[in-house]
Structure 1
Amino acid sequence: MKQYLYASVASIALVSSASAIAQTAPAADPAVGQDPSAAADEGAEDIVVTGIRQSLARAAEIKRESPAVVDSIVAEDIGKLPDLTTASALQRVPGVQVVVGGNNEIVGARIRGLDDIITTLNGREIFTGVGRGFSFQDLPAEALAGVDVYKSSSAERIEGGVAGGVDMRLRRALDFKELTIAGSARATYLKEAGSDDTLNPAVSLLVANRWSTGAGDIAAMLGISYQRNKYARPIAWNDWTRATSAAPAGSPQNLHAPTGFAAGVEFGHYERPQANFSLEWAPDPTSKIYVEGLFAGYRGNVFQARPTFRAYTGSSFTATAGDTCEDFAVGPDGYYSGNVRSPSNPTGTGTIRQLCNATGYTARNLEYYTATVANRARTDIYVLATGFNKEFGALTWNTDISYESSTNRNNSFRVDIGKRIAELTQIRDVNHEVQATTPGNPMNDPAGLAFANGMTEDINRSRGTLWAVMSDMKYDFGGGFLDHLQAGVRIARRKADFEQYLGGPPAPGGSFVTPLSAAGLPSDILVQAPGVPQMNEGASFLQIDPNYLLQEDIKRQLRTLYRISPNTPAFDPTRDYDAQEKSYAGFIQAGYNIALGDTIAIDGMVGLRVTRTDRDIAGSGRVTDPATSTSSVVLVQRSTSDTDLLPNASARIKFGGGLQSRFNYSKTLSRPSFGQLNPGLSYVVSYVNTIQNSGSGGNPDLKPQKADSFDASLEYYFGSSNYVSVVAFYRDIKDRIISGTEARTIDGLQYVISTPRNLGAAKIKGLEVGGQLFLDFLPEGLDGLGVIGNFTIIDSEVTTPGDRLEGLPLLGVSKYNYNAGLIFEKYGISARAIYTYRSQYFDGDITNGLSLRPVSIPVGLNGIRAAGRLDFGLNYDLTPDITISLAGTNVTGQRTRNFESREDFVREVRNDDTTYSLGVRFNF
């Protein structure tokens, strides 16, 4: 039976290790979790394990026997993970936290609160563009046989993830015993995508065969998939908090309120083509030679419509006072001041003032503009690998040679249009959301529209390549204290180059001066933008047709209108960088096994990985001569080297009867990204008065982040496929990379420059509880029920002395996570319903320091409220080879709600999508 699978259980498993490139889990026991003898004793009551249950049993087995602290997700059928995307499946794993991206996909996986993850594909490092990480949504779930989430490391695994690692496993040709043809077709409805009820297709096909010849077994496999999604994601938010004394004359003097209201919709469509192949030859049972490859692509036309209302630019401003009054550090402009006048700072420009909250306001005759952004994006990832596995009796030798090329391109064009409108009324908190109305919806009237702010282009290209060779040997001693000895090497060469142009001129003649009608643009340049539920109850509004902004002739016309060259701008040398990195690693690891009587035994590993990294990176910066006040671009080059020792040790105590306990230690590291290492400096002038001029520069002297990781668990496996586990973990992180800001004056203008540095330290500790139980003891019909779930609590703290975040939780970390699920499998039906919950967390600084906050809140942070999502899946086997399925995600319509530092400072609401999918699968 081909069913949905979900395996999200806390696990720690440390035993003899196989090569990272030839990792295979042991074959399933008759009843996973039992001793073979126990299974034999219960032979009369054996339960046939198929479909979703078989997959969960397999995941539990990997958890129990894997050589690392790992949780697994296993596809129960060819190309069928339990969720529609890889990242969606990862959110079910204990301790893994995710967010919803701009196109309503689940993205941004964190393992136990950290996003420094090394991603591998069949054991080989894989990445997107010039980044260290991989965008999981770039590889369709249909391509995968399973995913392993590593929460600790051992010597044979590739270094590079303080948080841990994720290994995505493609199927291989020798997995198939005979000619196999399998495929799927799925149509998905996305609620927010529009009123035309567009169904988004996804199809996949796999063909494999195996031939027994005089030269041994030869197998070939080809898999392809394609998906296309049209989507929309509406967002609404309060602009920066500000004292109302800075509003128009006659405004209240003792309140604080948002300086305006903004909304936006990201919409468009994207496509993901994918293909992978595997060729394997086994000349004899002890040898295998293989060639395999992958192509994964992304093509997207991403549009945005962002209406913004500047309430403080109106001729009048009235507000409703709330009952919460506090002290604020207020600057002359009404925003937050970090320079408050005091006896010790007599020249300070800010003052401490008591202000009350404004629960709502009305602004009249105010400025409004809509930004239209059109971005054409493309990603191409190619992976090609070859190698062999060979056994010489007790000695196993594995070698793998691989190459990856990952290119990412974006071409974004933005134009703002706007005018003055008569009135905006905003309520600051509606069920922890924002809401605004404009009588008569003047944003849908073309009369009076003019060009506003500046025109902006963002053109960037990044390309990363990687050559890698891995080779290791393992000798099994066949018993005794020393179980096996393993050693290996890896040599890798990584290149990365990045080019960008970012900028553009102000509006011709100034904001709201040049009428749109005078530009000579096509008569149908204005179109209806998708509405935002929190603005005018979802009514549409006008924007420039983003499809026109993808056309080069329209871009040339607009550049001319904005009084710059009509040609596509060249890349800005201050934003470019080139990097070359060579890494060398070697490891040695020994496995041991100690018998302590008839039932108790201890096994584990002790290993050491040694790495050296040599890096050359070149960027550009702008230098100003103080004598002449002239500036020039200069090339900046740096070379660095790092050598690191990464030890690991583990022990597993098997008490018999399915009960075992584990203890693990490992040191891990994460290398800085190439963008963080870039020695150049780039900056951009803002044409919006509420946004500061800003810039960024890298730091080529950054050291890798390192962590000492400790894990301890107690696990009990019982019955058929059941288990429960408790895992305690602790991480001590050093040289955490944090970004700081400083004010610099460049060519007479002040900029806030952000640069990274190694000043951080943090501690993370927590507890994971998980398990699964199949209710075989229930009466006929109900005995197909099962329950699965996990709960994680994480306590994190920034421990860097003097850091402004000292004592606060790590950004991006929720304290509580849980998954609770109910499954049913019987009579050809399999179903699951899973609720995933994440408690509130902070994900970063807010407003570049502009937003007003009470003096009782020392740091301004963007907070995300607690939220949960309910997903379901239903499958029915029409025949043994054909299955139909129905699935839904976020069926309760949960939204993402943000706040500024404290929940009563409502900031933003993001309308997460609800999707429904209908599909069919076949396997012949």
Structure 2
Amino acid sequence: MKNEQRRARRGRLAYLALSVAAGALLMAAGEAAAEVTPTEGEAPQDDAVVVTGLRKGLQDSLTLKKRSTSIVEAVSAEDIGKLPDASIAESLARLPGLAAQRVGGRSQTISIRGLSPDFSTTLLNGRLQVSSGDNRAAEFDQYPSEMVSSAIVYKTPDAAITGQGLSGTVVLNTIRPLDHKKRVISVNLRGSVNTNGEVNPGFSANGNRLSVAYIDQFMDGKLGVALSYAHLEDPSQLQHSKSWWWDRQGNDSITGQPRYGAGNGDVMGLHGVEAWATSREQVRDGFMAVLDFKPGDNFRSVNDFYYSVFDQNEVSHGAQWYQTQWTDDIHISNATIEEIGGSRIATGQTVAGVVPIVRNDNNTRRDEMFSFGSNNRFNIGAWRSVLDFGYSRSVRKESINETYAGYGTSPTPLTRTPDTIVETIPFGGFPQLDPSFDYADADHVYLGDAAPWGGWSHDGTQRNPKVTDQLTTARFSGARDIEWGGFKGLELGLDYSHRIKTRGVEEFDLCLKGWNQATFDCHGTRVRVADGDLQEATDISWAGFGSVLSYYLPDILDTYYDKRPIRNEDNLNKYWQVDEQLVTLFGKLSIDSAINGHGLRGNLGLQYVHATQTSYGNEIVTPSGPYGDPNRPAIGQWVSQSTSYGDFLPSLNLILDLDDDSVLRFGANRAMARPRMDDLRASRNAGVSQIGQHWSGGGGNPNLKPWIADGVDLSYERYFNKTSYIGVATFQKVLRTYIRGQTVDGFDFSGWANSSNVTPIAWLSKAQLEALGQPVPDSYPYPNGAPATIGSFSQPINGFGGNVSGLELSGAIDGSLIWDALDGFGAIGSFSRGWTNIRAGDPTDPAKLPGFSGDIVSATVYYEKAGFSARLNYRWRSEFLGETYQLFANRGATRILADDQVDGQISYEMQDGPLKGLTWMVQGYNLTNSNYQTQLKVSENRTSDGTSFPENYEEYGQTILFGFSYRFQ
């Protein structure tokens, strides 16, 4: 699609987005309206804290929180289709003990109580849902917030909820039309603008949001219908830089002295850097329908349908280069050397001999998600029974494309023109990189690989991941009243789920036309981009680099490039499938009693979960040729492995009413989280190294068992009036096992296919090695020697666990409680602190286990009176280890620094007249333009005192929205 066509399409879809002052205040996510009617057979919402909206919503929330039998947090729509955030993740991130990870400037995944998204699950209307990601964690930006009537986070298990997580369970609920007594039609329309502007030509900074909801009742209130549509066009504009790694630079090839001068051999310098501008078009359309049928008091059937399609189109233009003694003959002068963290660091320098690569990339992604569920309630004698079944499916298709260009016009593929660049590299903020050449000059910047070491054997790459996930669920349960001493209710049930997740990645080298197809090297003849294929140059002067040559890759890909398949061992390892079936038996006793005149409520329950899991993947039979020669592709054999096991999960929730205004809660439970899908893969590869001639290999582990944790919770709440309270909660989770990667010595490779052409030899004993004069470390794994079939194998295992504990403080205050003149004002806040002794890998890494932030803060101040509403929210989380996309379409862990967000909203609702029900609003997200920063792992590079080096630095700009909502009744 040409740029002009894209501009025209956006012009038709978008409407004028008005900019507003930075003082716009935020809608607090922890406030909303709409009480949910509880039903058996789904998440027991009568026990949930449903945070409604502003003062009345807060009042309803605290009333429910006081009566609840579980420790929960929740957010609900203020009005039909009126939840203001782009995704439900933004709303959840404002709740106590919850934190979001930003991906490209948007909150996408949620950590609960310091544990990564892998430890939680997401249910839609009480049913476990598929994920569009590579594993199990929900990507919440797939769910339009306008279609969610409430989102409830269970921090402690309830035996009647199946598919629960270890850290918590997020239950998303949609509208039930018979719970509304009259027809409702709601319309929301908003425009948006990003203050970074167009960082790439042809990609607008303006967006829009539209949602429509219709609810009605027929047949004298026996049949209800709800229909909803939500459209989102939300462009993002980001500026990105990355420091690749830091190390000593060795000696200069001319002077023989250290590159930073005599006596400076200990100086640490930057070995590679990149800077580019990224624009992303994000268009999501969601559809929801609910059919609610209740012919009498003894039967009700609620059937819900949900479908969404989410298209993303991303372009990046910029430059990158190596500057290390192992790649180019670089020369360093004019160095600025500072002492940081007890080490000497070069934070400024002039580097001669570098060869920048101009990058023009394009990534596309399309997610389709479908979900259907039917919940049927009926009475059988004294039993209130529920039959529920559901099906959900998601398909994700991506195309990740990168191309290279460099300075120089010779048609010889490996011609490279060195440059001299003046660099200033701060430990925070964008670097300043001043080159000598003009990298936007189309007469000198030609397509082709200018990479070090004579090139990467290609002129670009294309990687096309595809992930499908489908899940079928069925459940039958029954509940009845009983009189067994302090037990007043009994619920029994059976739940079945069958899930199949498949992942694969098609990969190609991009070769400029004219390449020699008889060799593995697919460099073509370097070529100038035709004027008609060029765009306006992309400005990256914010990094000091000036502008770079730009083109829209989809328009020129077939004109300039051929595609050559990549069929090496790494590619085959990316194909896998996991098939798992879970059968859950559960029972729960409801408690309603008293101790010394104090009410005692709660529940005691037990689940038994039986799992049967089968994993599939490639075992390498024949290795690929040297450097991935496509004429000698790797050959894999599709293998499978199965296992089954069962786990008992008891739970206890007790609530003691100390008096009318004080509640003491206690919980004890065992919870589990199923292993990551990619850890379960059956893919594996083994071979014999040329150095040492010994076996080694690696792969997934189809025999993995779940994470298991025993948890204890204790909390106290004191209520001062209907909208003011304080709460203190503490928890501890003891993980009995933690899944981590491990290399095991002594692995027997007998019968395994050798993916190399090297013949293995036996391991010599310690005595034999010493006789040969070779030093033998104490850690040598084979002191008595070992056969040639023995070696090392790396895979995820159920390793030792550890503890996660935390303290949560929360509260709310109505201004009128302090002074009558403050009527309408209020504040809500929370602070969470966590501790853990678990390390995911390197025990010296201060980032600890993935998703763990030691401190989380959220604060909201608001004013609401006579239709006027103003809200400001601040949230902050300390540094953590997050999962991001890395090289070659793989996922990996990155240390993400502390992140804060300020959002706000101002709105006014017409109180009377013909426009009654119309609300005008202005919203602002990321009002302080909070940056995103990562650091290199301490285990890789660090200063003398352990201070990590900077890695990624990104800025996303502020997003301002202006629009209205109108409710017809």
TMscore range, shorter length:
0.7 to 0.9
**Whole-angstrom distance in 2 between the partners of 1:742 and 1:376:** 39
Q: Quick one: structure 1 residues 631 and 273, their matched pair in 2 at CA, closer, same or farther if it must change by over 3 Å?
A: closer
- Cα offset, 1:498, TM superposition: 2.2
- Cα offset, 1:126, TM superposition: 1.0
Q: How does 1:679-718 map to 2 (within 5 A)?
A: 679-681=682-684, 697-718=699-720
Q: Quick one: structure 1 residues 4 and 357, their matched pair in 2 at CA, closer, same or farther if it must change by over 3 Å?
A: closer
- Residue from 904, 907, 918 that aligns with 1:875: 907
Q: Quick one: structure 1 residues 903 and 506, their matched pair in 2 at CA, closer, same or farther if it must change by over 3 Å?
A: farther
* SS of aligned partner of 1:543: coil
Q: Quick one: structure 1 residues 775 and 407, their matched pair in 2 at CA, closer, same or farther if it must change by over 3 Å?
A: same
Kept in 2: contact 1:68–1:150 (CA 8 A): yes
Residue in 1 that maps onto 2:216: 209
Residue in 1 that maps onto 2:599: 601
**Whole-angstrom distance in 1 between the partners of 2:882 and 2:569:** 34
User: Cα RMSD (Å) of the superposition?
Assistant: 3.7
Kept in 2: contact 1:22–1:398 (CA 8 A): no
1:922 aligns with 2:910: no
**Whole-angstrom distance in 1 between the partners of 2:492 and 2:874:** 43
Residue in 2 that maps onto 1:581: 580
- Residue from 763, 776, 799 that aligns with 1:759: 799
Counterpart code for 1:107: Q
Kept in 2: contact 1:6–1:73 (CA 8 A): no
Kept in 1: contact 2:41–2:477 (CA 8 A): no
- Residue from 453, 460, 464 that aligns with 1:459: 464
Residue in 2 that maps onto 1:350: none
**Whole-angstrom distance in 1 between the partners of 2:477 and 2:53:** 35
- Residue from 655, 671, 694 that aligns with 1:668: 671
1:782 aligns with 2:783: no
* SS of aligned partner of 2:296: coil
Residue in 2 that maps onto 1:526: 534
Residue in 1 that maps onto 2:309: 297
- Residue from 403, 406, 420 that aligns with 2:391: 403
Q: How does 1:468-867 map to 2 (within 5 A)?
A: 468-477=473-482, 481-504=486-509, 516-517=526-527, 522-528=530-536, 530-532=538-540, 534-536=542-544, 539-548=546-555, 553-554=558-559, 557-559=560-562, 564=564, 574-598=573-597, 600-624=598-622, 632-681=635-684, 697-740=699-742, 747=756, 755-777=795-817, 782-798=822-838, 804=843, 809-843=848-882, 863-867=895-899
What CA deviation, in whole Å up to 9, does each residue of 1:750-773 have, x standing for no partner? xx9974222242311110000111
1:322 aligns with 2:337: yes
Kept in 2: contact 1:382–1:404 (CA 8 A): yes
Kept in 2: contact 1:897–1:909 (CA 8 A): yes
Q: Quick one: structure 1 residues 592 and 531, their matched pair in 2 at CA, closer, same or farther if it must change by over 3 Å?
A: same
* SS of aligned partner of 1:92: coil
Kept in 2: contact 1:19–1:398 (CA 8 A): yes
Single out whichever of 523-532 and 285-294 deviates more from structure 2.
Answer: 523-532
- Cα offset, 1:192, TM superposition: 2.8
Q: Quick one: structure 1 residues 741 and 843, their matched pair in 2 at CA, closer, same or farther if it must change by over 3 Å?
A: farther
- Residue from 184, 187, 192 that aligns with 1:180: 184
**Whole-angstrom distance in 2 between the partners of 1:405 and 1:364:** 54
- Residue from 925, 950, 961 that aligns with 1:906: 950
**Whole-angstrom distance in 2 between the partners of 1:106 and 1:882:** 29
What CA deviation, in whole Å up to 9, does each residue of 1:412-458 have, x standing for no partner? 22221123352212222164553322245435554042411332121
**Whole-angstrom distance in 2 between the partners of 1:815 and 1:611:** 32
**Whole-angstrom distance in 1 between the partners of 2:569 and 2:684:** 17
Q: Quick one: structure 1 residues 212 and 112, their matched pair in 2 at CA, closer, same or farther if it must change by over 3 Å?
A: same
Query: Paired residues, what number?
Result: 831
* SS of aligned partner of 1:583: strand
Counterpart code for 2:966: F
**Whole-angstrom distance in 1 between the partners of 2:351 and 2:651:** 62
Kept in 1: contact 2:109–2:138 (CA 8 A): no
- Cα offset, 1:159, TM superposition: 3.1
- Cα offset, 1:846, TM superposition: 13
Counterpart code for 1:210: Q
What CA deviation, in whole Å up to 9, does each residue of 1:119-161 have, x standing for no partner? 0111111122463221100011111111111112121112352
1:111 aligns with 2:112: yes
Kept in 1: contact 2:511–2:562 (CA 8 A): no
Q: Quick one: structure 1 residues 672 and 96, their matched pair in 2 at CA, closer, same or farther if it must change by over 3 Å?
A: same
What CA deviation, in whole Å up to 9, does each residue of 1:756-808 have, x standing for no partner? 222242311110000111112466663100011000001112179x9645897
Q: Quick one: structure 1 residues 299 and 505, their matched pair in 2 at CA, closer, same or farther if it must change by over 3 Å?
A: closer
- Residue from 121, 131, 138 that aligns with 2:135: 131
Q: Quick one: structure 1 residues 843 and 272, their matched pair in 2 at CA, closer, same or farther if it must change by over 3 Å?
A: closer
Counterpart code for 2:358: T
Kept in 2: contact 1:433–1:908 (CA 8 A): no
Single out whichever of 259-268 and 724-733 deviates more from structure 2.
Answer: 259-268
- Cα offset, 1:815, TM superposition: 1.1
**Whole-angstrom distance in 1 between the partners of 2:140 and 2:796:** 26
Counterpart code for 1:874: I
Please give the TM-score of this superposition, normalised by the length of structure 1.
Answer: 0.83
**Whole-angstrom distance in 2 between the partners of 1:159 and 1:59:** 26
* SS of aligned partner of 2:137: coil
* SS of aligned partner of 1:460: strand
What CA deviation, in whole Å up to 9, does each residue of 1:505-542 have, x standing for no partner? 67758999755426xx65433334644464127x4321
* SS of aligned partner of 1:245: coil
**Whole-angstrom distance in 2 between the partners of 1:25 and 1:374:** 48
Q: How does 1:119-158 map to 2 (within 5 A)?
A: 119-129=122-132, 131-158=135-162
1:373 aligns with 2:356: no
Q: Quick one: structure 1 residues 309 and 22, their matched pair in 2 at CA, closer, same or farther if it must change by over 3 Å?
A: closer
* SS of aligned partner of 1:60: helix
Kept in 2: contact 1:261–1:309 (CA 8 A): yes
Residue in 1 that maps onto 2:72: 70
**Whole-angstrom distance in 2 between the partners of 1:703 and 1:601:** 40
Counterpart code for 2:160: E
**Whole-angstrom distance in 1 between the partners of 2:702 and 2:49:** 49
Kept in 2: contact 1:80–1:144 (CA 8 A): no
**Whole-angstrom distance in 2 between the partners of 1:763 and 1:26:** 28
* SS of aligned partner of 1:699: coil
Kept in 1: contact 2:511–2:561 (CA 8 A): no
* SS of aligned partner of 1:488: strand
- Cα offset, 1:877, TM superposition: 0.7
* SS of aligned partner of 2:550: strand
Kept in 2: contact 1:370–1:416 (CA 8 A): yes
Larger fraction in strand: 1
- Residue from 371, 380, 399 that aligns with 1:383: 371
Kept in 2: contact 1:896–1:911 (CA 8 A): yes
**Whole-angstrom distance in 2 between the partners of 1:497 and 1:796:** 33
Counterpart code for 2:963: G
**Whole-angstrom distance in 2 between the partners of 1:326 and 1:155:** 50
Q: Quick one: structure 1 residues 897 and 731, their matched pair in 2 at CA, closer, same or farther if it must change by over 3 Å?
A: same
* SS of aligned partner of 2:146: helix
Q: Quick one: structure 1 residues 257 and 249, their matched pair in 2 at CA, closer, same or farther if it must change by over 3 Å?
A: farther
- Cα offset, 1:667, TM superposition: 1.1
Counterpart code for 2:618: S
**Whole-angstrom distance in 2 between the partners of 1:570 and 1:326:** 41
**Whole-angstrom distance in 1 between the partners of 2:286 and 2:136:** 21
* SS of aligned partner of 2:858: strand
- Residue from 431, 435, 443 that aligns with 1:434: 431
Please give the TM-score of this superposition, normalised by the length of structure 2.
Answer: 0.79
Kept in 2: contact 1:589–1:605 (CA 8 A): yes
